[in-house]
């Protein structure tokens, strides 16, 4: 005899119900609703999470602004010809150090010497003529007009002599200041015209350290302030601020700053990478291990602390500097109980069991 599906389903349900009754879930004491209504004190409590904490006190620290810049010559001048002529002598070449008014090159005089001698001879003639006219005028034998004409001729002759002397002087090209010849643009035999570049002279004493500071950093800097410049070779130099741009770069919104470094031996060259540190004054901050830093749900950098009631608090911080011995952070109270181990496993407002770290364990480095 075949049995339909309905009787088989009924038999299965009956067996399941019997097993549930046998397990003691029915009639074995208080119901789930009765257990939920039991006093909280009678229910078992989950143990509080334990975290390692360290009691930190802020330390005095010199606040600094650090930027990356480069060295630059304090002056760069292109020495140009002021008269035309052929180069007949080059007294200093590229790379040479020169003093102010040192000869860099000379041009051929050509007929300038003869013209100067001619103009001087004419000047002597005009001086004699003027002296004679003056005496005649005093005796009443020469009119005032003729006297003025003689004076005009004399002045014109003097002007010609002065022009010729200047033209002769311009055939000798002189260094405008102490410096180094950065580039030479002419060779012997070259013919130069007025305005042609003959040499480029750079002034490396003092040498400049230049960089850009942000609008947040600019307020603490002043002309005449001191700074420390560390070059890429590790050498450190004292520098003085000589210029702070009054207007920001429209592209970067930063301000150009220039500092002077003494460089009498020209050892510091133009274009060397430099780290510039400006002291802003002393402030208190906390020195911690980078491992104690964490992020909250909004992605803000901070640390987790424990208050007097052993409750976890999130404190946003500002990273001030990163050193080999730790990281300086600001924005915390002067005294703080910092979670150094376990901060990633607790949340804001959670009560914990703080375990004080020993002084021998650096914050955040314990395991």
**Residue ranges of domains in the chain:** 50-61+284-356, 66-73+203-282, 83-198
Strands, E assignment, the chain: 49-57, 59-80, 85-90, 97-98, 103-107, 172-174, 179-184, 191-192, 197-214, 226-231, 236-244, 254-261, 273-288, 294-295, 301-306, 312-316, 318-323, 326-330, 335-341, 352-356
Report DSSP state, residue 193: -
Is a pLDDT exceeding 80 seen at residue 265? yes
Name the residue with higher pLDDT: 65 or 163: 163
Is a pLDDT exceeding 50 seen at residue 3? no
Strand partners of residue 135: none
Q: Cβ distance 317 to 269 under 8 Å?
A: no
Report DSSP state, residue 83: S
Question: Within 10 Å of residue 211's Cβ, how many Cβ atoms?
Answer: 21
Q: Cβ distance 84 to 110 under 8 Å?
A: no
Distance CA 236, CA 289 (A): 27
Strands, E assignment, 138-247: 172-174, 179-184, 191-192, 197-214, 226-231, 236-244
Residue 18 binned pLDDT confidence (cut-offs 50, 70, 90): low
> What fold does the segment set 66-73+203-282 form as a domain?
Elongation Factor Tu (Ef-tu); domain 3 (2.40.30)
Taking the CA atoms of the chain, what radius of gyration do you get in angstroms? Answer: 45
- Cα angle 72, 76, 79 (rounded to 5 degrees) comes to 160
> What's the CATH architecture for 50-61+284-356?
Beta Barrel (2.40)
- Cα angle 129, 162, 164 (rounded to 5 degrees) comes to 105
Least confident of 35-49, 74-88, 311-325: 35-49
Q: Cβ distance 73 to 207 under 8 Å?
A: yes
Phi-psi sector, 268: left (phi>0), alpha (psi -120 to 50), beta? beta
Global model pTM greater than 0.85:
no
Output the six-digit token pair for 356.
């004080």
- pLDDT tens digits, residue range 96-139? 999 999 999 999 999 999 999 999 999 999 999 999 988 888 88
Question: H or E segment at 144?
Answer: helix 144-169
Residue 147 binned pLDDT confidence (cut-offs 50, 70, 90): confident
* Residue 6 preceded by cis peptide, ω within 30: no
Q: Cβ distance 209 to 184 under 8 Å?
A: no
- pLDDT tens digits, residue range 292-312? 999 988 889 999 999 999 999
Least confident of 39-53, 128-142, 181-195, 203-217: 39-53
The whole-number average pLDDT for the span 246-253 is 92
């Amino acid at each position: 005899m075949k049995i339909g599906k309905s009787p088989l389903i009924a038999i299965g349900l009956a067996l399941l119900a019997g097993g549930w009754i046998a397990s003691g879930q029915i009639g074995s004491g208080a119901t789930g609703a009765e257990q939920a209504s039991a006093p909280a004190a009678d229910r078992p409590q989950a143990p509080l999470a334990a975290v390692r904490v360290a009691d930190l006190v802020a330390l005095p620290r010199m606040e600094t602004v650090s930027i990356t810049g480069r060295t630059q010559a304090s002056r760069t001048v292109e020495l140009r010809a002021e008269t035309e002529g052929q180069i007949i002598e080059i007294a200093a070449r590229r790379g040479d150090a020169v003093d102010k008014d040192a000869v860099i090159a000379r041009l051929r005089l050509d007929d300038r010497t003869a013209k100067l001698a001619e103009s001087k001879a004419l000047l002597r003639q005009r001086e004699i003529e003027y002296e004679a006219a003056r005496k005649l005028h005093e005796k009443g034998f020469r009119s005032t007009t003729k006297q003025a004409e003689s004076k005009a001729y004399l002045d014109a002759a003097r002007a010609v002599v002065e022009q010729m002397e200047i033209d002769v002087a311009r055939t000798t090209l002189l260094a405008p200041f102490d410096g180094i010849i950065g580039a030479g643009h002419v060779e012997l035999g070259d013919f130069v015209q007025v305005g042609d570049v003959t040499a480029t002279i750079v002034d490396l004493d003092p040498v400049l350290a230049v960089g850009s500071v942000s609008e947040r950093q600019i307020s603490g800097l002043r002309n005449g302030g001191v700074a420390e410049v560390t070059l890429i070779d590790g050498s450190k130099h004292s520098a003085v601020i000589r210029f702070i741009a009054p207007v920001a770069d429209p592209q970067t919104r930063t301000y150009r700053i220039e500092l002077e470094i003494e460089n009498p031996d020209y050892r510091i060259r133009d274009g060397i990478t430099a780290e510039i540190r400006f002291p802003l004054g002393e402030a208190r901050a906390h020195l911690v291990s980078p491992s104690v830093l964490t992020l909250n749900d909004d992605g803000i950098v901070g640390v987790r602390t424990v208050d007097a009631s052993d409750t976890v608090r999130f404190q946003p911080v500002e990273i001030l500097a990163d050193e080999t011995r730790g990281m300086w952070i600001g924005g915390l109270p002067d005294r703080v109980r910092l979670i150094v181990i376990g901060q990633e496993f607790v949340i804001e407002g959670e009560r914990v069991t703080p375990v004080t770290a020993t002084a021998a364990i650096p914050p955040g480095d314990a395991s």
